Copies of this chain bind each other. A is one copy, B any other.
Amino acid sequence: MEESEILAKLPKAFTESALRQEMLTHGKFITVNKDDTLVREGQYLDFLPIVIKGEIRVFQQKEDREILLYYVREGQTCMMSLSAAYFNHTSTSYGVATKPSEIFVFPTRLVNEWQLKYSSWNAYLIQTFRSRYDELLGSFESVAFDPIDKRVLSYLTDRAKKENTPQIAISHQNLAYELGTTRVVISRILKGFEQQGKVKLFRGSIQLK
């Protein structure tokens, strides 16, 4: 791969060319398959990942249940990995690819170093933390104050917008997992929506109307 080509793949957020050059020197690109685990609980992090292409699902695993924290998408890094790396702690969450993905990785010791050298790196970190916080706050409010039917609808419209299609590929069961409820409740609500003409239901997918 040409050097200029590599540089072009790095997120535009990194404005200093010296930083981009350092990334190129110390980092490398890896590819992972769908369902590959990048990080698991209890693991020390030698490398920090930045997603170039694809998507990583970050979650915590408790005795009985699983808690979805966020998805790391193109141009983003994993906040949990970042802070674990920074304090040299083990990871408290899992990271699994939801699709074949290309990841840029570099040694975690540079996280600290770069903070003392590059403003755009600092801004990127703070932005990462703050936007994950806001995201979680949104989920919190939603769970705390919105009835489930509203949350289902929000989930669908959000995904439709993000994926730019009214056809959402997800089973009732998995939708129940995402929202922390049960399949029966989801089926009931979706059926209601269908009768109100808000959606059309298919096996394995839901079409917004």
Contact of A137 among B69, B115, B117 (CB under 8 A): B69
Segment from A96-104, A120-128, A193-201 that makes contact with B: A120-128
Q: Does A133 contact B (CB under 8 A)?
A: yes
Chain B min CB distance to A77 (Å): 13
Q: How many copies does the complex hold?
A: 2
Residues B123 and A126 in contact, CB atoms below 8 Å apart? no
Q: Does A129 contact B (CB under 8 A)?
A: yes
Segment from A6-14, A141-149, A154-162, A168-176 that makes contact with B: A141-149
Chain B min CB distance to A186 (Å): 15
Report the bound CA distance from A67 to B79 in whole Å: 24
A residues touching B (Cβ–Cβ < 8 Å)?
A: 65, 67, 69, 79, 82-83, 86-87, 112, 115-117, 119, 122-123, 125-127, 129-130, 132-133, 136-137, 139-141, 143-145, 180
Q: A115-B116, A126-B129, A133-B136 are in contact. List 17 more A-B contacts (CB 8 A).
A: A67-B137, A67-B141, A82-B126, A83-B126, A83-B129, A83-B130, A86-B123, A86-B126, A87-B126, A87-B127, A115-B115, A115-B122, A129-B129, A133-B133, A136-B136, A136-B137, A139-B140
